[in-house]
Structure 1
Amino acid sequence: MSTSPLAADVNRGASAFRGRIGRDARSGHYAVPHRYRLHLSTACPDGLRLAVGHSLLALDGSCPVTVLPAVPDRPDGGHAALLPLYEASAHHYTGPAVAPVLSDDWSGRIVSTHARDILRDLDRFAYDGDTCLYPCGTESVIEAVERMCTEGIEEAAQSAGRAGTDPAERAAALEVLIGTLGRLERRLLDAEYLVDDRLTAADVELWVTLVQLDTVHRCHLDASAVHRIAGHHALWAYARRLAARPAFGRHVDLDGISRRHHGRCQGLEAAGAAVQILDWAGHAADAPDTSRR
């Protein structure tokens, strides 16, 4: 796969850098160890996905990670530590310096700020051979899971918990959410993982989405809705199993997720806030820290 040119729309007020990692030196950015660096916050779902994927691929030695604060320190929602990278990468850049970022230490510029592109490109790096997040022939299935997580869980949960939304719209959004969870539940009744009985990017995507559902979106749902969500026992058992794995559980920053949520969210807390589905802190504690960083 060839790399696409680095691009940024400095007038949108949001990052849009989408360079890609290529296979060899003929590409502008190629997969060589010790050239690239990840900048992320694990309190952000995109940052958490990348942290988990980075650990699964055992890239600690070849692509270091700079962990950023849970709450950005600039009024525009960006990180001061990332501003030099943004300014070096786009002339007169005026948007927020947001994470996550994959940067090129050789040039001091940004390669990409698109989380899913970054995860796919990390999968192109040399790794230990035990894990491949995008096995050949699974891309379309993984993309389908990504859409289910984005539209059927994330967006549906936001709509179901949004204050001021018409009750009929909230009910419809909740039914979309429950229906999506039900389809995933049926898939996991007799399978350990979502795709080809092996751990892939689909599992990283779904697991992080479930973390967000229980730690963020649940707070804006009523208790009845949360009980319906929690009733998908195979799905939450799957989330619990993954949370107990070091590559997953040790990256869960519950305090950071809470501070980020309260710093950004304007919604009203509902009764579901008191109905925790999983003990994320307990399962994360069960995951030993095997980090080589």
Structure 2
Amino acid sequence: MASDDGTGEFVRDPLGVAERITADGSSPWPVEAGRYRLVGARACPWANRVIITRRLLGLEDVISLGIAGPLHDERSWRFHLDPGDVDPVLGIEYLRAAYEKAIPGYDEGVTVPAMVEVSSGKVVTNDYAALERDLATQWRALHRDGAPDLWPDPDAIERIGEGIFHDVNNGVYKCGFASSQAAYERAYWALWARLDELSEHLATRRYLVGDTITQADIRLWVTLVRFDAAYHGHFKCNRQKLTELPVLWAYARDLFGTPGFGDTIDIDQIKQHYYGVHTSINPTGVVPLGPDTADWLVPHGREELGGRPFGDGTPPGPPPAGERVPAIG
């Protein structure tokens, strides 16, 4: 997942299969209903971004979803929540098998999300940023009726998303996996400077870009929803808890209650993954019991800022029966 650049700073490894699935013929992989299976994990924020995008756009019947469990070893993410520890569609126990079918002798990182071609069992791409962008744009012909436009202003979304990626999404990992005090402190101060900036930005507007939910909100939210359960303590991002940040806490609760967001989250799996897998940080493997998740249901009051969550579209319907997560509270 990462390397050390010699200064003790966490450096995220490059993606191993950075392909694209397109409708315009610009890649070898065409948009096609039923051809691909999205493999994610409830624990992983990068996978969560694509899972939310798929939900909001109503692509559940177009792209099937496989869920790797929260625990894995050096061999890769594992389907230990499925009967017989095997993905029922791909027929594999470890996701690494799909990477090795795509690239024999594959020795890069095995990450989620990964889009897998069902017929061949090969990973097509693990480029999460391209996946969420292409689901919103290249797959448009297969969106549900009433699907929102998640990319109404690409330049603004990418501009604000760049800072969110470096200082928040990846920033919490830079804090947690820093191997020197100096590297940790650089990441810590960058994280909190960015969160303070985002808090100020959101104090007078409901969403990050325009008056509707966009991909920028999805990017920020997946880190916020994991903050108190994992990043505050486990990754030492402990200036304050999310619950102590009035604007960001209300913003996060607003999105949590929005169809397509909170219904993709399993807090227990999040904690099991971070505290159970990162043995260099938590060698005992003890998983904390808190925090109290009922607080996510407290009214947020953000409606007063206006905004139209889905723009001219509509909310997605309930998740498919096989994709439902435990209720909060």
The TM-score bracket by the shorter chain reads: 0.7 to 0.9
Report the alpha carbon displacement of residue 223 of structure 1 after superposing the two structures with TM: 9.8
Q: 1:32 to 1:178 in 2, by over 3 A?
A: same
Superposed displacement of residue 115, structure 1: 1.0
Contact 2:161 2:219 in 1 (8 A): yes
Gaps of 5+ in 1: 1-12
Aligned twin of 1:214: 228
Please give the root-mean-square deviation of Cα atoms over the aligned residues, in Å.
3.3
Of 131, 145, 158, 2:148 maps to 131
- Residue 232 of structure 1 is aligned with which of 245, 266, 282? 245
For residues 225-267 of structure 1, give each alpha carbon's deviation from its aligned partner in whole angstroms, at most 9, with x where no partner exists. Answer: 125x644311110100111123111211111111111123233
Residue-by-residue CA offset, 1:52-101 (whole Å, 9 max, x unaligned): 111111111111111111112x4333433424422221123345543221
Given candidates 320, 326, 329, the residue that maps to 1:292 is 320
| 100-109 or 206-215: bigger deviation | 100-109
Q: 1:111 & 1:180 partners in 2: Cα distance? A: 34
- Once the two structures are overlaid, the 10-residue window that deviates more, 92-101 or 103-112, is 92-101
What's the offset of the Cα at 1:39? 0.7
Aligned residue-pair number: 270
Q: Is 1:182 aligned with 2:182?
A: no
In the alignment, what sits opposite 2:34?
34
- Normalized per residue, the structure richer in strand is 2
Residue 127 of structure 2: aligned partner: 114
The residue matched to 2:157 in structure 1 has which SS? Answer: helix
Q: Aligned with 2:188: secondary structure?
A: helix
Q: Which amino acid aligns with 2:228?
A: D
Identity level (%): 26
C-alpha contact 1:163 1:268 (8 A) present in aligned 2: no
Q: In the aligned structure 1, how far is the partner of 2:64 from the partner of 2:177?
A: 38
Q: Deviations over 1:207-236 (max 9, x none)?
A: 001123222110147797125x64431111
**Deviates further, 260-269 or 188-197:** 260-269
1:104 aligns with 2:117: yes
Contact 1:250-1:289 at 8 Å conserved across structures: no
Where does residue 75 of structure 2 map in the other structure?
76
TM-score (norm 2): 0.71
Distance 2:295 2:226 in 1: 17
What letter corresponds to residue 225 of structure 2 in structure 1? V
Aligned AA (1:76): R
Q: CA deviation at 1:28?
A: 2.3
Query: 1:52·1:251 contact (CA, 8 Å) conserved in 2?
Result: yes
Moved more, 197-206 or 125-134: 125-134
For structure 2, which runs of at least 5 residues remain unmatched after alignment? Answer: 1-12, 79-92, 300-315, 322-329
CA-CA distance at 1:127 after TM superposition: 1.0
Residues 275, 196 of structure 1: alpha-carbon distance in 2 compared, 3 angstrom cutoff: same
After superposition, the Cα gap between the structure-2 partners of 1:71 and 1:204, relative to the gap in structure 1 and judged at 3 Å, is same
Q: Quote the Cα distance in structure 2 between the aligned partners of 1:231 and 1:282.
A: 12
The answer to whether the 8 Å contact 2:38/2:113 transfers is yes
Q: CA separation of 1:49/1:284 partners in 2, compared to 1, >3 Å: closer, same or farther?
A: farther
In the alignment, the residues of structure 2 paired with residue 259 and residue 165 of structure 1 have an alpha-carbon distance, to the nearest angstrom, of 26
TM-score (norm 1): 0.78
Report if aligned partners of 2:168, 2:195 keep a CA contact under 8 Å in 1.
Answer: yes
The answer as to 2:48 corresponding to 1:48 is yes
Structure 1 partner of 2:216: 202
Q: Contact 2:232–2:238 (CA<8 Å) still a contact in 1?
A: no
Aligned residue identity for 2:160? V
Which residue type is aligned with residue 34 of structure 1?
A: G
